[in-house]
Amino acid sequence: MSAPQLLAGPDPSRGSERRSEHVARLGPLPKGGHALIELLVRTGLTGRGGAGFPVGLKWRAVAAASHGSAVVIANGAEGEPHSRKDRLLMASRPHLILDGAMLAAASVHAKQVVLCIGEEHHAALRSMSGALAERSEHERRMVRIVAAPPRYVAGESSATVHLVDAGIATPTTTPPSPRDRGVGGAATLVQNVETLAHVAIIARTGMATDTVLITVAGGVRTPGVLEVNVGTPLGDAVQLAGGASEPVRAVLVGGYFGQWVEPSSAWSLPLDTQALRARGLSLGCGVIGLVPASRCAVCEVAGIMRYLASESSAQCGPCFFGLRALADACTRIAERGTDPGDLQRLQRWSAEVHGRGACKHPDGVVMFLQSAMKTFGDDFAHHPPHLRRSA
């Protein structure tokens, strides 16, 4: 691992970095604008919230639709259950995020910046509001903090817009995309807080950053957040997290909307958005989850399916009823053993649900299930009945 870039400086566990320390370490904030957008396009920075969309292109689109009244939402809702990287960054490097948000506002001609922070991320909320108090009066007037409810869909970009606009964190139908019509109908840039922190570095150095924040979770000795070089083999990241605590059955790459990978092919995977995409995988929000061989894979999947079904905002029938039916079928297999009819239904209903929600929640869940059934095909096909739920 080479030098950290976002988490360089004082130990992140010591908490919020003061503004004086931040400026002494990195220098003053450069100017945002058209040149910065073009620099971001050239560096190829991609979003770190999950979708991995090219940042420069998004800023260009919002700047074009802005008419001088765009809104920037710095997204620190972090509703992904095992992800910790956004709250760690907010709790330790608030000024990096504020710098990035101010650069975004200047570049897309925004008058308002909203910091959307998960309401249970207490240290992050304290750190960000403390940091905001240290900024100029102009910035303090521009920026406000909105606490997001701790639900899976609350961090989806249209849901953050709906939260800021109407106070209700449910996704809305797209199009229109927030970048065309977001907060109050204005063009809105929704950008993950880690992404904004990268921008704050790139604007200062004029060069691409080459690190990524990941959260290593599950069967490792020291689970937590790491800043690793882009392209680091997944196995090296696991070693940095103390190594696997027991034999590994499978690795979930990219969080719940990511993909399951067998350990044999997982360790050599490069942690790099483009390289993973070329393999049909995704870095997503950077969660690397290890499932130990001692756990029943089908029961783990059934438990996650029940959680994801319960996180449907119940606005679309196919999502609410379809995901519940899929989770129920998985649970039946987990509890009563494999039934060929249920296996068939999982396949057929997956196809029925996909693409039928206003947001991408049902699609993400179906892809998670498809990946699980591919990786744990044998487990699903020959699952014995369990006396009680283990997940």
Partner 1 sequence: MNNSLLWYTTRGAGAVSLVLLSAVVVLGILSVLRIQSTTWPRFLTAGLHRNLALMTLVFLTLHIVTAVVDPFTHLGWLAAVLPFSSYYRTFWLGLGTIAFELMLAIVLTSLVRGLIGQAAWRMVHWLTYAAWPFAVLHGIGTGSDAGSAWLFTLQALCVIAVVVAVGYRFLTGSHDPLADARSSFQDAVDRREPR
Question: Where on the chain is the footprint of partner 1 (CB under 8 A)?
Answer: 146-149, 151, 154, 163, 166-170, 173, 312-315, 317-318, 320-322, 324-325, 328, 341, 345, 349, 352-353, 356, 358
Report, in Å, the least distance between residue 352 CB and partner 1: 6
- The nearer residue to partner 1, 242 or 355, going by C-beta atoms, is 355
- The nearer residue to partner 1, 159 or 299, going by C-beta atoms, is 159
- The nearer residue to partner 1, 361 or 383, going by C-beta atoms, is 361
Q: What is the 3-state secondary structure (H, E, C) of 17-50?
A: CCHHHHHHHHCCCCCCCHHHHHHHHHHCCECCCC
Report, in Å, the least distance between residue 77 CB and partner 1: 11
Report, in Å, the least distance between residue 317 CB and partner 1: 5
Please give the torsion angle defined by the CA atoms of residues 311, 317, 323 and 329, in that order, rounded to the nearest 10 degrees: 140
- The nearer residue to partner 1, 320 or 376, going by C-beta atoms, is 320
Q: What is the DSSP string of 291-312?
A: EETTS-HHHHHHHHHHHHHHT-
Residues 6+ apart with CB under 8 A from 245: 219, 220, 221, 292
Report, in Å, the least distance between residue 322 CB and partner 1: 4
CB atoms within 10 A of CB 332: 17
Whether 266 contacts 253, CB under 8 Å: yes
Cα–Cα distance between 381 and 383 in angstroms, integer? Answer: 6
- The nearer residue to partner 1, 210 or 328, going by C-beta atoms, is 328
Cα–Cα distance between 257 and 152 in angstroms, integer? Answer: 11
**Strand order in 188-192's β-sheet?**
143-148, 110-118, 70-76, 188-192
- The nearer residue to partner 1, 66 or 170, going by C-beta atoms, is 170
Three-state SS at 192: strand
Report, in Å, the least distance between residue 360 CB and partner 1: 14
Cα–Cα distance between 306 and 312 in angstroms, integer? Answer: 10
- The nearer residue to partner 1, 134 or 352, going by C-beta atoms, is 352
Cα–Cα distance between 337 and 385 in angstroms, integer? Answer: 4
Report, in Å, the least distance between residue 170 CB and partner 1: 6
- The nearer residue to partner 1, 135 or 162, going by C-beta atoms, is 162
Report, in Å, the least distance between residue 173 CB and partner 1: 4
Report, in Å, the least distance between residue 149 CB and partner 1: 4
CB atoms within 10 A of CB 132: 19
- Identity of the amino acid at 4: P
